[in-house]
Structure 1
Amino acid sequence: MSIPEITQTLLAAKKAKGLSFADLEKILGRDEVWIAALFYRQATASQEEAKLLVDALGLDASYIQQLAEYPVKGLGPVVPTDPLIYRFYEIMQVYGYPLKDVIQEKFGDGIMSAIDFTLDVEKEEDPKGDRVKIIMSGKFLPYKKW
């Protein structure tokens, strides 16, 4: 995946200001993962959210419109090569069908929404090495019969 120019600009400005995504969460009133998705053009900001972000990063107002435009989403058709991103791909290769079966046993025939969805990342302290805890919560959408 090539990193869009706007993403590079946003990340550089964030670094120059010494801000974290958690800091931006306090400014925008949106979750840090959603803000990171916005940086990578996987989410769309309102005009107000875009203005808050652009002001916080000290960027030109011309970025407001770009952040409010609907992006093309997804990593693309290739298997990701970044090791961390690949692990999520690998998790779905190994656990995708088992997760599908368990979800359908509990909810029925349907899917978990990726639109009505939240994602949180937590750090779990562990004496054997800190752990990454990812919490996904998506609305269940049953398949419709007609």
Structure 2
Amino acid sequence: MDKLEMRYTLLAAKARKKMSWDDIGNAVGMSPVWVASACYGMNSASQDIADKLCDTLGVESDVAEALVAFPTKAWDEAIPQDPFIYRLYEVVGVYGETLKDVVQEKFGDGIMSAIDFSMEVEKIEDPKGDRVLLTLNGKFLPYKSW
């Protein structure tokens, strides 16, 4: 089974079981954001976590093999059409250079790791309209000179 077939199998099982990412994350002892990313094929899971995911969602063991396999992290280079993803793309387009400049003023020349990284998603209730709070927490990796 490849990552794409794995993704469809896991998302179908999630829908069939009517489970949220929070439910699944709690069941396997991992962040719901990370679990979703692994199910979408963008991260690999340990054998233990892959087995727990398969048990939780009631899918066959060949799915666990695909979950453990190292992913090729690639995505469509076209501008995203989904409004939510497009708005994140827009945020990076509008504020990307600003964020880079501010981070580099504070830390020096380098990047934020997406490998040594975590992310949280919170709902902030607000009478003027609920808010989405995304927390991106990545290790700073300075560029080296040699």
Q: Which residue of 2 aligns with 1:82?
A: 82
Q: Which residue of 2 aligns with 1:5?
A: 5
- Distance in 2 (CA, whole Å) between partners of 1:131 and 1:35 is 23
**2:71 maps to 1:71:** yes
**2:54 maps to 1:18:** no
TM-score, normalised via structure 1 length: 0.94
Secondary structure of the residue aligned to 1:4 is helix
Q: CA deviation at 1:30?
A: 0.9
Comparing both chains, which one has the higher relative contact order based on Cα–Cα distances under 8 Å and sequence gaps of 6 or more? 2
Q: Which amino acid aligns with 2:107?
A: F
Q: Which amino acid aligns with 2:103?
A: I
TM-score, normalised via structure 2 length: 0.94
Matched-pair identity in %: 51
Q: Which residue of 2 aligns with 1:125?
A: 125
Secondary structure of the residue aligned to 2:59 is coil
Q: Which 10-residue stretch deviates more, 96-105 or 5-14?
A: 5-14
Provide Cα deviations, 1:90-139, integer angstroms capped at 9, x if missing partner.
10110000001100111111111110011110000000110100000100
Provide Cα deviations, 1:72-95, integer angstroms capped at 9, x if missing partner.
113222221111111111101100
Stretches of 4+ aligned residues off by more than 4 angstroms: none
Q: Which amino acid aligns with 2:17?
A: K
- Distance in 2 (CA, whole Å) between partners of 1:88 and 1:69 is 28
- Distance in 2 (CA, whole Å) between partners of 1:70 and 1:105 is 35
**2:116 maps to 1:116:** yes
Q: CA deviation at 1:20?
A: 0.9
Secondary structure of the residue aligned to 1:118 is strand
Residue correspondences, number = 144
Secondary structure of the residue aligned to 1:70 is coil
Q: Which amino acid aligns with 2:60?
A: D
Cα RMSD, aligned residues only? 1.2
Q: Which amino acid aligns with 2:53?
A: L
Unaligned runs of 5+ in 1: none
Q: CA deviation at 1:71?
A: 1.3
